[in-house]
Structure 1
Amino acid sequence: MSNSTTIKPPFWFWIISVIALVWNGMGVNAYLQQAYNTESYRAMYSKEQLEIAANMPVWVTAAFAIAVFSGALASIGLLLRKSWSVKLWILSLIAVIIQMGYILINNYVSSMVMTLMIILFAFLFVWFARKSKAKGWLS
């Protein structure tokens, strides 16, 4: 359903959208540090944690990339007030569930709080994007 006119969103829409962009920007940074095995990445984790990350199945690493990059693009879509951002948020959520599900099932959790925050934010951003579309804030 496409509507040529959209309703002006409230101020807090912009705040949440910027928070989403910053959150997903941090995710992209984390992915790139892991992918390029940077010195700062290696300094953050123990040898055991680095070994676990290095031996993750390719599909889990791919889910990580899909989660953060689709989330970052979805954040930009929100800031541009585009309804296509909803689909990217859903893709990001699915990828988060796959990645975090694997990590939880295999007990590779280094921080349960961060793991739960990632899952919770993924759900909240989908909810927020759907709500924004329903309110007519996205076109």
Structure 2
Amino acid sequence: MSEKSNKKPPVWFWIVSIVALLWNLMGVMAYLGQAYMTDEMKAGYTPDQLALMESTPAWVTAAFAIAVWGGLLGCIVLLLRRKLAKPVLMLSLIGILVQMAHSFFMTNAAEIYGPVQGVVTPVIVIIIGIVLVQFARIAEKRNWIS
């Protein structure tokens, strides 16, 4: 087998890729839940939370969509062992960063949602986005994806 040929990835590659796919499916569900929020769902939020959601600019919603759909597509492509996974996951990360920059620097989301939902969860999302891009880089470097 030549050095440039596709190598069989280890079991942990598949485990990480599947867990990442499930993580991104949760992101897609969060996006769809927000996009198609019913009055019953709105009843579970405080007036301040609803006002913050309703004042979200379209470009932030677009960044959210790019983040979650890009993450889902990136993980599917990763499972198909294609190099396209890295740029798609990078696009997803850009969407995450744009969305979270708005949340951290242009709103009072941390005050409204509290420290866990307003700070800790977004930081975890950013970290996972970075890790997935790095994971795709490693997979490419080790010829697990082509």
**TM-score with structure 2 length normalisation?**
0.88
Following superposition, the deviation at residue 22 of structure 1 comes to: 0.6
What is the one-letter code of the residue matched to 1:107? N
Structure 2: stretches of 5+ with no match in the other structure: none
How far apart, CA to CA, are the structure 2 residues paired with 1:125 and 1:10?
Answer: 17
What is the one-letter code of the residue matched to 2:53? A
What is the one-letter code of the residue matched to 1:21? L
How far apart, CA to CA, are the structure 2 residues paired with 1:77 and 1:44?
Answer: 36
Mark the CA change 1:44 to 1:124 in structure 2 (over 3 Å): closer, same or farther.
Answer: farther
Following superposition, the deviation at residue 9 of structure 1 comes to: 0.5
Following superposition, the deviation at residue 121 of structure 1 comes to: 0.4
Which SS does the other structure have where 2:89 is aligned?
helix
Following superposition, the deviation at residue 135 of structure 1 comes to: 0.6
How far apart, CA to CA, are the structure 2 residues paired with 1:68 and 1:33?
Answer: 12
- The question of whether the paired residues in 1 share the 8 Å contact of 2:93 and 2:130 is answered with yes
Match of 2:45 in 1: 45
Match of 1:34 in 2: 34
Following superposition, the deviation at residue 107 of structure 1 comes to: 2.8
- The question of whether the paired residues in 2 share the 8 Å contact of 1:34 and 1:41 is answered with no
| Greater displacement, 4-13 / 75-84 | 4-13
Following superposition, the deviation at residue 108 of structure 1 comes to: 1.2
Match of 1:24 in 2: 24
Match of 1:74 in 2: 74
Q: How many residue pairs end up in the alignment?
A: 137
| Greater displacement, 53-62 / 38-47 | 38-47
Match of 1:108 in 2: 109
1:132 to 123, 133, 139: 139
**TM-score with structure 1 length normalisation?**
0.92
| Greater displacement, 35-44 / 81-90 | 35-44
Following superposition, the deviation at residue 4 of structure 1 comes to: 7.3
What is the one-letter code of the residue matched to 2:28? V
Q: After the TM superposition, which parts of structure 1 deviate over 3 Å for at least 4 consecutive aligned residues?
A: 38-41
Q: Deviations over 1:65-103 (max 9, x none)?
A: 000000000000111111101010000001100000110
